[in-house]
Chain A
């Protein structure tokens, strides 16, 4: 008698406990369903003919038509090339810059000064790309911009209409990208350097190693795995571009597209154009990006898993 009520009581409390734990999951579960899972099903729009006023499920199927249009469009090779080339520069130049900066920061002995440097270098990360587009405009404004009013005359050159001239933009965008991201990305390496066993350095000092030898023989080899992993993970995202960087910094100036159009800005522009053609092209491009991204992330994670299973994402 006593034991049955006990069991019943346990069962009840177990259920009650689970009910409240389950109820905590509800808001996040619903939000993820609405904003992440519904669009995953909605990806079939790439195989449908867009019709205004109809939901994705009601539109008629159109097979691979949208993809045929996409891969015969003259813009497609341009944005694919731009997306991949910018990412390659960001990954490999970034690797050198981020590790380099992390090592420099770690060599600074004065704690407060080091913290101050870090605070300042991390600051651009907190600015939105809208603000950054204003900052870039302050330099590149045709009439009053700093470059045209102060730098060009130094070299005896005419003012340049920067937003109509695509040639210098790879350089400008790469500069802006690193200006915003270098502080943020070097922190990961700085944390790893802080974790290196100090006994290694002490032993090297006894052996008479100088600073440079300590960096090349201890610091960099210790960071090797992390460097490989960060690089592989970045390669997994090679088909996606930072929309803010390419849309806001260039002010979406059409004249710059030959060097600035990337997959995300192309998709956005086609979506904005609307109609069956625009939405068709946009949906095909965004399908291509999602699926390629998924395959690449799985592949790269598989490789990371082989190298160092501790660092793999899953």
Chain B
């Protein structure tokens, strides 16, 4: 009996629901893109629209000829993202590998040492005090890198990757050949754990690129602003101005320093664009990491 796949009304309805949902996810981003391509007069006359009412590249030209602040923010963001991702991936892989080795006696203790940080924390104030008064991280580029470089959850994911995808025989053969532990890790184990490395590196890249929290806590010097923090700072300034109407009247100079609405949205696109472009290619690793992540500690 041949199975006939009939397309029922409910199946069509299902697709319509999903299409609406994907539109809900996409339209807000499209609105921001559209604003960034609309001229100032278009915005003043028609407000924000999902399709540029008057198309113009003013906003992007403004950014291309931007002042040092934007260029600096770009440099800092790229620096922290690259250096941070390398340090995080290294720290996590190095810590996770001994934990995955069944012949390593103390692995239970060292696993718990990391796992406990997921259960209990000193809270915001104690963390902030330690970072500023003990470690003196205020206005240091390391404040944007080191606090995120160790992550118990990444370590658990990586440990699972090592213990499920690396056969013991490979490590044994390395030992028989007289290779050192570091050589076994870097030349035998890591090359066959690339999907795991990619997952951790992807998580880390996104976390560093999107980070505004650490600059908010530790940075006051404009030279160290990241893109995200520059954006946040801009919006906070405008918010302050609009909350205090009298302030606005005698601060024409302050206002003129703030880019136009279109330019703000264009800057937003500059921070968001790279993620949108790269994301579909890495989504596979992301989902992989998520499903592996739900394992016992």
Contacts and interface: CB of A to CB of B under 8 A. Distances in A.
Contacts of A276: none
Contact of A108 (B14, B29, B119, B275): B14
28 contacts: A24-B182, A35-B131, A37-B117, A56-B130, A56-B133, A107-B14, A108-B15, A108-B18, A119-B279, A120-B22, A129-B212, A130-B235, A134-B265, A138-B265, A139-B28, A144-B47, A149-B46, A179-B25, A211-B10, A244-B213, A264-B124, A267-B125, A271-B128, A283-B123, A283-B125, A286-B125, A286-B126, A290-B122
A294 B119 contact: yes
Interface residues of A, number: 98
Interface in B209-259: 210-213, 228-229, 231-232, 235-236, 239, 242-243
Contacts of A134: 32, 231, 235, 264-265, 268
Given A32-B114, A117-B18, A146 B126 contact: no
A107 B10 CA distance: 11
A289 B125 CA distance: 11
B201 interface: no
Contact of B127 (A35, A46, A187, A248): A35
A20 interface: yes
B97 interface: yes
Contacts of B43: 144
Interface stretch (B61-69, B191-199, B288-296): B288-296
A191 B291 contact: yes
A21 interface: yes
Given A27-B91, A128-B212, A131-B231, A267 B124 contact: yes
Contacts of A131: 210, 228, 231, 268, 271-272
B120 A28 contact: no
Interface stretch (A1-9, A216-224, A251-259): A251-259
Nearest to A280: B125
B24 interface: yes
B124 A286 contact: yes
Given A20-B180, A248-B232, A39 B122 contact: yes
Interface in A235-286: 243-244, 248, 251-255, 264, 267-268, 271, 279, 282-283, 286
Contacts of B113: 29, 32
A87 to B, nearest CB: 18
Contact of A128 (B18, B46, B228, B236): B228
Interface centre among B150, B242, B290 (most CB of A within 10 A): B150
Interface of B: 5, 10-11, 14-15, 17-18, 21-22, 24-26, 28-29, 31-32, 35, 43-44, 46-50, 90-92, 94-95, 97-98, 101, 104-105, 110, 113-115, 117, 119-131, 133-135, 146-147, 149-150, 152, 155, 180-182, 185, 206, 210-213, 228-229, 231-232, 235-236, 239, 242-243, 261, 264-265, 268, 271-272, 275-276, 279-280, 283, 286-287, 290-291, 294, 296-297
A146 B122 contact: no
A139 B268 CA distance: 15
B25 A121 contact: yes
